[in-house]
Amino acid sequence: MSLTLYFLRHGETTYSRDNALSGSGLDIELTPAGLEMAQAFAATYRSTPWQAVYVSPMRRAIATARPLCAALGLDMELRDGLKEMSFGRWEGLAQETVKQTHPEEYLRWSIEPGWYRPGGGETAREVARRAMPVIQEIMGRFSSGNVLIVSHKSTIRVVLCSLLGLDVGLYRHRLDCPVASVSIVEMRAQGPFLRALADCHHLPEPLRRRANT
């Protein structure tokens, strides 16, 4: 049996709903719909035999992991490396606002996210440098079984790129990650194998539509 990593993005927040930038500088709560998404994940995956649950220490990630952990009596392993990317002075701004008010900077971020700091925040490479040691910690601790990782949109995509051998600078252009979606990577002898990307089938249809808007 191999080690399988489940990457769960947190549920809906007001910022994700409005397509605004909420990085490590905004520690916000889930919306009522976001809490329902967390409950739906727990209901679907409570029968999965979990080895551990690693969670970003941000409130929206903790609230997403809480229903499953409470149902199964699991402790959360909080890791700073799983926090969302920092968007610097762009925190809280709608992407369309940034595009209009900082067109040159937004263009650079669109073209070079691996190297460019959005709003003076973090590059994708910097996110990888702090997030991948958490993945290495998990791989060193567990050789088999299922481990849940509850994190954020940019961070999950950067980690997936790193595991799959993609340039992390392509994270915004190659991988989707709706709220409350699950991506699954099996650590095989030949290397990481992507079993599922941005899966939302654990959500009831109304929440699934909401997650993908």
Q: What is the pLDDT of residues 160-205, one digit of tens each?
A: 999 999 999 999 999 999 999 999 999 999 999 999 999 999 999 9
pLDDT band for position 93 (cuts 50, 70, 90): very high
Average pLDDT over residues 73-95: 97
* Cβ-contact 145, 3 below 8 angstroms: yes
d(C-alpha 125, C-alpha 169), whole Å:
7
pTM of the model: 0.97
d(C-alpha 203, C-alpha 199), whole Å:
9
In 3D space, the residue among 156, 163, 145 whose CA is nearest the CA of residue 180 turns out to be 156
What is the structure's pLDDT at 99?
Answer: 94
Does residue 1 register a pLDDT over 90? Answer: no
Domains in the chain and their CATH numbers? 3-87+124-211 (3.40.50.1240)
Residue at 135: amino acid letter: I
pLDDT band for position 212 (cuts 50, 70, 90): confident
d(C-alpha 213, C-alpha 209), whole Å:
6
> CA angle, 156 as apex, 43 and 205 as ends, to 5°?
35
Q: Which two tokens stand for residue 163?
A: 């595991």
- At a CB cut-off of 8 Å and minimum separation 6, what does 37 contact? 11, 12, 30, 64, 179, 180, 203, 207, 211
Task: Give SS3 for 198.
Answer: strand
HSE-CB at 45 with a 13 A cutoff on CA atoms is 31
